[in-house]
Amino acid sequence: MLSQNLRALRKKIGYTQEQIAEYLGVSTAAVTQYETSTRTVPSSAVSKLALLFNVDEYELYQKDPQQQQLLSAFAFRADELQVQDLKTISEFKKIVLNYFHLSNELRNNE
């Protein structure tokens, strides 16, 4: 399921395998293998991809395509982004997610 979701999210947002490979620091062949389930996706790559696609890691393993469609609606479109742009977007999303998690914790503790 992970491989199908990675491919679907990548295509929906408009990233190329080359962009994803550069972002992850792997070869394009490795990304192809991730998307075809011929190679296991390392947990560090799953974490980076979850940030890039604006989903929680566990959601990359979900079967529900409707849920994936809703999640990808908030992902950033990649028309002509460079690898540094992807890294910056990923880091920004990480900050935003941390903010939301902290806000929720504060509300729950009140």
Task: Domain 2-109: give its CATH code.
Answer: 1.10.260.40
Please report, for the chain, the start and end positions of each structural domain, with discontinuous segments joined by +. 2-109
Q: How far is CA 40 from CA 23, 85, 92, 108, in A?
A: 17, 26, 27, 37
Tell me which DSSP letter residue 57 carries: G
Amino acid letter, residue 57: E
Residues 82, 85, 91, 93, Cα dihedral to 10°: -110
pLDDT at 95: 80
Residue 66's pLDDT is 46
Query: Whole-angstrom Cα distance, residue 40 to residue 68?
Result: 21
User: What stretches in the chain show pLDDT beneath 70?
Assistant: 64-81
19: which 2 tokens? 């962009």
For the segment 49-65, what is each residue's pLDDT rounded down to a tens digit? 988 888 878 888 877 64
In this prediction, residue 80 carries a pLDDT of 66
